[in-house]
Structure 1
């Protein structure tokens, strides 16, 4: 087998794993470390093989249920010149890889993997790389609206509103609040109401508070 032919087949065989790594990386926060070339290759190999294993079991199940003779050829392609590339097989494995990568991304970004690891005593990690990221992930992904108070003592200003969006990186602290009330920090005097506001600030210049809320109205309980 010529090297170019081998390389061509190898690329297509592990294409599902490459797709999976790209999809998973695209759903990570910007500040999270991206895989280097060595990690990219290893991850592509693992995800690709797992996709083909899933496809192999699907073929086996179809053969049992419908008395067919479906056969996978991807391993034979590496060592046998007489086998031709089955593009449908690669396509099916790629679809499985995309589904697999979406599931992994959901489990990772929701923190489910780390909560499970914590319950069985493997790790205490939350999956977040700092406290800001950890808190904001939980607040934004929560089912209930998150009301927040932003105290900027340097500007003598308080912003109280419902958290709509936020940055998840440690470089920038950005928030978008809705149904906002703006107060003076010293006197708690209401200055004005506004539908929404975008805030960008240094984290050491403000204090964030998450008030206890009544079940209705979004007003803080006394």
Structure 2
């Protein structure tokens, strides 16, 4: 068996895990991690999904392929396992995003670690409340400007700290004097290497406007 054939076969076998890992990366903070984490996630999701299939079917061409000779792959099995991996990944997304795993670990006293240690993540996870809108005030200590607007977008990459506000009011502070100098529909902020910024965040009830 040539290398290219082996590679394509393994990719086909681990397609359920690859799709599952993609779902995790799409809906959790895993998008910011290195590729090695993606490969590990794909491997474990695939193995667990095939194991679930084997438990119900009492056989699997996936395991036969590695441990028995002259075993052909079963496309129907891989399709079913892919569906299992998708459901499994959605469940994992729910558990991860709700911090249920960390709550369980803390509850049984196994660890005091809770959730992500990235303050940026924790801060903006608090803004994802249904039927509420998030207003942010950014105070720039260097220019004495204040930007107040509704949160539209924020980055979820570890190497980027970016946000975009809409319906933005820009004020200039000059001692006790505060003056509105501009109003913008959208304003983008790259917060990297900004040491003199203060963010104030408030969730307000959504009255139906946007």
Q: TM-score, normalised by structure 2?
A: 0.72
The 1:52/1:190 distance shift into structure 2, 3 A limit, reads same
1:204 — aligned with what? Answer: 195
Q: Which residue of 2 aligns with 1:155?
A: 143
| Change over 3 Å in CA distance of 1:212–1:100 after alignment to 2 | closer
1:189 corresponds, among 157, 179, 183, to 179
Residue 50 of structure 2, aligned match among 37, 49, 52 = 52
Distance in 2 (CA, whole Å) between partners of 1:168 and 1:42 is 21
Contact kept in structure 1, 2:25 and 2:31, CA below 8 Å:
no
How many residues are paired up?
A: 202
Offset of residue 157 of structure 1? 0.7
CA distance in 1, matches of 2:63, 2:190: 53
Which structure has the larger Rg over C-alpha atoms? 1
Q: After the TM superposition, which of the residue ranges 74-83 and 143-152 deviates more from structure 2?
A: 74-83
Give secondary structure in 2 for the equivalent of 1:168: coil
1:76 aligns with 2:64: yes
Q: Give distance in 1, aligned partners of 2:38 and 2:201.
A: 40
Q: Corresponding residue for 2:126?
A: 138
- Contact 2:105–2:111 (8 Å) recurs in 1: yes
Q: Is the 8 A contact 1:51 1:93 kept in 2?
A: yes
Q: Which runs of 4+ in 1 moved over 6 A?
A: none
Q: Return the offset for 1:147.
A: 1.3
- Superposed CA RMSD in Å reads 3.6
TM-superposed CA distance for 1:176, in Å, is: 1.1
